[in-house]
Amino acid sequence: MSPYYGPDEDQKTIEYERNFIAGDVIAGTGYGAQLVLYVSCALFLWKRRRHGLQPKILLAYMTLMLLIESLFVAVQARTVQMVYIDNRNYPEGPWEFFLSSQTAAVNVIFLATLFLMTFLSDLLVLWRCLVIWQASGQTTLAWVVTAVPGVMIFGSFILGTLWTFYSTRPASSFYNTLPLHIGTAYYAVSLGANVILTLLIIGRLVVYRRTLLDSLPPELANHYISLATVIVESAALYSVFAILFLITYALDNPTNQIWLGVASACQQIANLLIIYRLADGSAWQRDTLTTKTAPIHFKSGGGGMISTHGGNTSFHIAAPPPVSAGSSDPDSDFTETTNKHERSEIV
């Protein structure tokens, strides 16, 4: 039988140490994906910087988020070095050192950046929900339905501040009783607001689906109401993994360290996917349902005109005439004219 060289710790502590490293690796992987999305979004927004204030605001917002995320990943890496290398012989093991060193600058920055990224991300989803509801033309209703999640988000800001404060006091950590209760309440309120916003966005897009299918060709309508659109616009990607983190954190399950890394990365990826759609002009706008598109005409000599009309679009298709014996190209007289759809900017 081989001798045991493992740590002299209980199984739960060992699982926490394993998951702590795994969470850090996941955070680094997610950071790489964010860098790729950031560059793509930045290029789009930079080209449109003269098209109003929105591209500039979005570019500043995502740059701020990237800086915060960079700091978050950096202090995570530094914490791993402190725990597993610099203090590997700490009594009762690396995890105990981590819990007893929450007042260290890297750990304070870790919690502060995590809390700040969550709050700013919640604000983006709140804004998108407001815009999507305003697309129906009912501005007052849009403000009313987003009021409750809006209050919850600002309430989570207070809870997050308390959670950061009590988790970084001497001889404390976010796994102690009081910080654990405050942290659970903070994530419950923040996640609750996200779930409400997600359901509001999904519900509204489902209502819009019928209107768009009546007004636009299926190919164009699906651009605004496809499954991918619903997932991106509602930031559902983050909500799923945030729920998993909240459950495992409240139960003090070691896998919460993994779900924390996944949820944090998915939150920023979800934000960048929303911004990417805004940057390339394919996201929902306040006037998506009211913007008129010009008719599309297909002419072919002297054939009869076939017309189909939708609520916001009009298509006129001319039937091709019979091909004459002297004509070698039946499509030689076919021409197509169309006006580009004008997109409006949100400022």
- Cβ contact 30:266 at 8 Å: yes
Q: Which residues form the domain of 319?
A: 296-337
Mean pLDDT per 10-residue interval, the chain, length 347 residues: 77 88 89 92 88 88 94 91 87 84 84 89 90 83 91 92 83 75 87 88 79 64 64 79 87 89 89 84 63 45 44 40 46 41 39
Whole-angstrom Cα distance, residue 191 to residue 125? 12
- Cβ contact 203:234 at 8 Å: no
Any domain includes 197:
yes
Q: What is the CATH number of the domain that holds 109?
A: 1.20.1070
Any domain includes 286:
no
My answer on whether 242 and 156 are in the same domain is yes
Burial class (CB in 10 A: 0-12, 13-18, 19+), 278: buried
Q: What is the pLDDT of residue 237?
A: 81
My answer on whether 225 and 300 are in the same domain is no
My answer on whether 331 and 251 are in the same domain is no
Any domain includes 290:
no
The reported pTM is 0.73
My answer on whether 183 and 318 are in the same domain is no
My answer on whether 192 and 310 are in the same domain is no
My answer on whether 213 and 302 are in the same domain is no
Whole-angstrom Cα distance, residue 190 to residue 246? 10
| Helix (H/G/I), strand (E/B), else coil: 299 | strand
Any domain includes 5:
no
Residue from 282, 283, 310, 286 nearest 296 by CA: 310
Any domain includes 204:
yes
My answer on whether 319 and 240 are in the same domain is no
Whole-angstrom Cα distance, residue 291 to residue 162? 46
Q: What is the pLDDT of residue 111?
A: 85
Helix axes 105-134, 54-81, angle to 10 degrees: 150
Any domain includes 165:
yes
CA 53 to chain CA centroid, Å, is 21
My answer on whether 87 and 230 are in the same domain is yes
My answer on whether 15 and 80 are in the same domain is yes
